[in-house]
Amino acid sequence: MLSFRRATPNDLSRIVAIYNSAVPSHDITDDEMPITVDSRQEWLNHFNDRFPIWVVISDSTIIGWCSLGQFYPHQAYQFSAEISIYLASDTQGRGYGKQILNFIDQQITDNLD
């Protein structure tokens, strides 16, 4: 069973490690080189109640992260969001992506009420 909580600055090193594990394949990111924790400090500060970032937890271990980000900085897209999901490579293929999407859907639905 997965659990979720809002990411904190203390989670940033794990978030970056999970992201960097996707860099070599270029399947889900266009970064050519691994990123650093320092380079993501400001990035983390941009998440808020409207566009949050969560860590994904299984057995007390952060196995991934997901976020809602601004889709496009234009008034017409003010109610749109980009969904990002990253999982540690050793946890992929277990159906967690669907569980994460269900969680995000519930968060969005709850905030519409």
d(C-alpha 74, C-alpha 28), whole Å: 24
pLDDT at site 26: 67
pLDDT at 89: 92
Q: List, run by run, the mean pLDDT of 10-residue segments along the chain (113 residues).
A: 96 97 78 91 94 97 96 87 94 95 93 69
How far is Cα 24 from Cα 53, in angstroms, rounded to an integer? 23
- What is the reported pTM? 0.90
In the CATH hierarchy, which fold is given to the domain comprising 3-112? Aminopeptidase (3.40.630)
What is the pLDDT at residue 113? 60
Domain borders along the chain are 3-112
3-state secondary structure of 71: coil
